[in-house]
Structure 1
Amino acid sequence: MRDTYQNGSPAAAGDGAHHLKSLILGHSIRPRRTVLERAKQRALQHDAPSADAQGVRIDLRTPRWQDLSLALPGSKSRSASVLQKSLARADRDPTIRRAFDKLRTRLRQTAQEHNWTSIGVMGPTSGCGSTFVAVNLALSLSRVPGSRTLLMDMNMRSPALADAFDVAVDGPMADFLSGHTPLGAHLVRTTETLALGLNDEVEENPAEILQDGATARTLERMRAAIRPEIVIHDLPGMLTYDDATAFLPQLDAVLLVSDGTQTLGRELKECERLMQGHVPLLGVMLNRARADSITRYT
C-alpha cells in the first residue's frame, strides 16, 4: 500500500482535474468465506426442484439472465442528475475511458484466475467517487461481447444508481435482500450484457441488513440463477459507517477508490487493516488526481 500514497497524504489535486489511475496490487488470496458456505448449506434445506453445479438449489421458475426484464433509460425522470452528466462527460473522454478499459481487462483476468465473482467498490470515506468508478467499470465490463455484468446498489444510505441510469426502481433493495421481492421483479437488464440491482429507499440500519443471513442466501441464489461473470457492489465509505465492513464476507475482493483531493494515507492503511483476514484488496483507483502527480503513484 505504501506505493499508493506519499508521506501520509495524497498528491495535490487541481480544481477541475479528473484523472484516473488504477493499480492492481499483490495481496494474499483467501478462499471463499465460510459464511457463504453456510449460506449454501442453508439453501440446500429449502425445497426446490433443481440445483446448480455448486449445490445451491434453484427453482426452475426463477428467471435466468435472458429472462430479466429490459429497462430502458428515461423511465425514472426527465432531467439528468449530476452523476448522469458526469458519466456522460466521462464516456466522451477517451483518457478516462481507456483507464477504465485497462482496469476492466486486469480485473477480468484476475477474477478468472481466482474464480472471483463478487467485487466491492468503496472509498475510505464518502465523496471519493466510488459510484462514479463502479458505474464506469460496469459499463466497461459490459462492452465485452457475450459477458454478463451485474451492478448492485448496496449503498442504502445514499442510493444513486437509479438516477445514474435513469431507470425506475421496483421496490427497495432491503426487500430484495430479505427475500420478500422475487429476483425477477427486482433485477433488470439495460443491455444484453449489463444488469442492475437498484434501490429507491434510504435505510436507517443498512449494516444490519447487509450482515443478515437472509442477505447471504439471497445473493448466493441470485448468482446461481443468473450466472453473472462479475458482480460489482457499489458500497458506502468504509470508515464512515460499518456497512461496508459488515458486507466484506459476501465479497471476493475489494477495489478502493482514493480521492486525490481528500483521501489521506492513514485512511487507506486503516481500510487495508480492516480488510486483512477477510477479503483481498484488489487495488486502488486514484480519482481526481492532478496530471503531474500521477507518476508518484506508479
Structure 2
Amino acid sequence: MRDLYASDALGADNSDVTAQFGGPGMRHSIRPRRTVIDHEDEFDGDFSEGDLTFEDSLPAAPAVSRYFGDDRAPRWQDLPIATPGPGGDMPLVDDHRNSAAARAFDLLRTRLRQTTLEHRWVNIAVTAPTSGCGNSFSATNLALSLSRVPGSRTVLMDMNMRSPGLARAFDMQAPGAMSDLLSGRADLGKGMLRVSDTLALGLNDRAEVNAAEILQDSATAETLLRLRASLQPEIVLYDMPPMLEHDDLSAFLPQLDGVLLISDGSQTMARHLRECERMLEGQVPLLGIVLNRARASSLPKYA
C-alpha cells in the first residue's frame, strides 16, 4: 500500500468546537506516512509527532483542458458582495484566532498553498469517508483561513448537493440552485457571491437526488472551466458528500487536482480509509488526511 500524505489535524466538531478551543480535539501535522491503518482497525488519532513536510514527489493530477472565457464572464471584482450573518449554524474558528483550532487550520492552509502553488493545482475536494466527520466544517474554516492571505483568491463551492449546508454555515441566502449554476441555466455573475476581497462562495439552496449525474455532466465541466478562467482563483475548495455513501466524488474526480480527506477520531475505521485510498488510487492525489475530534490523550502539549 502506497504512502498517504497525512494531515492528522484539527479538532472539535460542529456542535462543541467553541467549548473545545484550546482543549481536546485539536491536533495538526502534515507529513508523509505509511497508511496508519495497517496495524489497527480503529483510526483513533493516537499518533506520534513528526516533521511538517510533504514528500517531494506527489502523484500527477489529471490534465485539465483550458478554457479561454469571453468578455461576458464576470471578473472577480464584478461579483456581487454579500455579508455573512451572525447566526450561522457552524462554529467558525475565525472568531477565536488564538485558539489551537485556528492555528491548526492556519498550518494546514500554509502547507496546502505551498503544495498547490508548486504543482499549479487549483481544484481541491474536501470530503470524508462517511457522514458526520466534519468535512463541511473543515472546508469552511480552511477557506476562511486561506482568505486571510493578502492578495489571494479562494473560492468555496457547496458541491454537497444532496445536503447543502454552506448557506446556513454563513447565515446567508443562496442566490439559487447549484444545479442551475453548473448547467449554465444561471449566470455566473449572479450565482456566485463575494464576501471579501479574497473569498467568493458558490452556495446552494436546493437538494438534488441526481447529484452524481449533474457532477459528471459535460456542462458542469465547462461551467467550472469558465469560472476559473474568469475569476482566476488560487484555490477552489469543493465541499463534497461522503465518499463511501454516494458516487458523487467518484463522478467528480476528472475535475479535481487533489483530495483532502476528513477523518473522525470517534467513528472513522481503518477499513474506511483503505477503501477511500483504493478509490483514489491512480486517479487523483490524496493530499492529506485531516483528523477531526482527536482524543485528548493524543494531543501534544507545549509549555
- Give TM-score scaled by structure 2 length: 0.81
In angstroms, what is the RMSD of aligned CA positions? 2.2
- Amino acid across the alignment from 2:152: S
Q: Are 2:68 and 1:63 equivalent residues in the alignment?
A: no
Partner of 1:8: 41
Q: Is the 8 A contact 1:22 1:103 kept in 2?
A: no
Unmatched 5+ stretches in structure 2: 5-33
1:87 is displaced (CA, Å) by 2.1
Relative to 1, partners in 2 of residues 1:125 and 1:22: Cα closer, same or farther, differing over 3 Å?
farther
- Superposed CA offset, 1:166-216 (max 9, x none): 111111000000011111010110011000000000001100000111101
1:248 is displaced (CA, Å) by 1.0
| CA distance in 1 between partners of 2:73 and 2:298 (Å) | 50
| CA distance in 2 between partners of 1:7 and 1:100 (Å) | 27
1:9-88 to 2 correspondences below 5 Å: 9-11=42-44, 26=55, 28-33=58-63, 36-37=64-65, 40=66, 56-74=67-85, 80-83=87-90, 86-87=91-92
The sequence identity of aligned pairs, in percent, is 55
More helix by share: 1
- Amino acid across the alignment from 2:40: N
Aligned-partner SS, 1:110: helix
1:91 is displaced (CA, Å) by 3.5
Partner of 1:200: 205
1:12 is displaced (CA, Å) by 6.8
- Amino acid across the alignment from 2:107: K
Select which of 97, 100, 105 maps to 2:102: 97
Partner of 1:139: 144
1:4 is displaced (CA, Å) by 3.7
- Amino acid across the alignment from 1:281: L
| CA distance in 1 between partners of 2:217 and 2:159 (Å) | 14
| CA distance in 2 between partners of 1:208 and 1:237 (Å) | 16
- Amino acid across the alignment from 1:9: E
- Superposed CA offset, 1:40-70 (max 9, x none): 4xxxxxxxxxxxxxxx231212210011110
1:134 is displaced (CA, Å) by 0.2
1:115 is displaced (CA, Å) by 0.4
Q: Is the 8 A contact 1:22 1:283 kept in 2?
A: no
Partner of 1:276: 281
Relative to 1, partners in 2 of residues 1:65 and 1:22: Cα closer, same or farther, differing over 3 Å?
farther
- Give TM-score scaled by structure 1 length: 0.83
Q: Which runs of 4+ in 1 moved over 3 A?
A: 1-6, 21-28, 88-93
Unmatched 5+ stretches in structure 1: 14-20, 41-55
Select which of 168, 173, 177 maps to 1:168: 173
1:119-138 to 2 correspondences below 5 Å: 119-138=124-143
